[in-house]
Amino acid sequence: MLTAKANSTEYKVLTDTDLDVQTATVSGNGLTVTLYKSGRVVNAEFKKLGNMPKSGYNSVMLTIPDGFRPTVAQQIYYLGIAGSGRSGDGKYMVSQAGDVSMFTTTTGAIERIVTGSWITSGGVIKALLRLIRKAVIGC
């Protein structure tokens, strides 16, 4: 929650509705990506539990919906965890087209969970206009 100064003496607490937060969840090939977008900023959680079919490069596992895709390709690194110890490392790769692939150093049953953020193209003007409209006319 953010606090924004409305004028010299009043403050307004901004909520998810004010900030126009959009969410999406995409699943495929045992990978789940949960996306949260406000304006042009996307926060994403990548979650893959269990085994991988092969170590090394694993081609496109799923595609992120339009509007949540990064303006430039992203690489998000993780440390694999099995029980209480480290077991294998890797990275998720997100293309500008929204394709998510993975590189992993092990096929083992590990937790491959990580969060990342990026900027999308567009969306900020719409969120700002909604915020201004709410502040000026209260709708």
| pTM across the whole model | 0.73
Q: Which two tokens mark 107?
A: 């096929």
Q: Max alpha carbon distance in the chain (Å)? A: 60
Among residues 4, 135, 108, 106, which one has the least CA distance to residue 50? 108
Place of tokens 């929204």: 98
Q: What is the pLDDT of residues 77-133, one digit of tens each?
A: 999 888 888 888 999 999 999 999 999 999 988 889 999 999 998 655 555 666 677
Q: What is the pLDDT of residues 27-72, one digit of tens each?
A: 999 999 999 998 889 999 999 988 988 899 999 999 999 999 999 9
CATH superfamily of 2-137: Phage tail base-plate Siphoviridae RBP, head domain (2.60.40.1830)
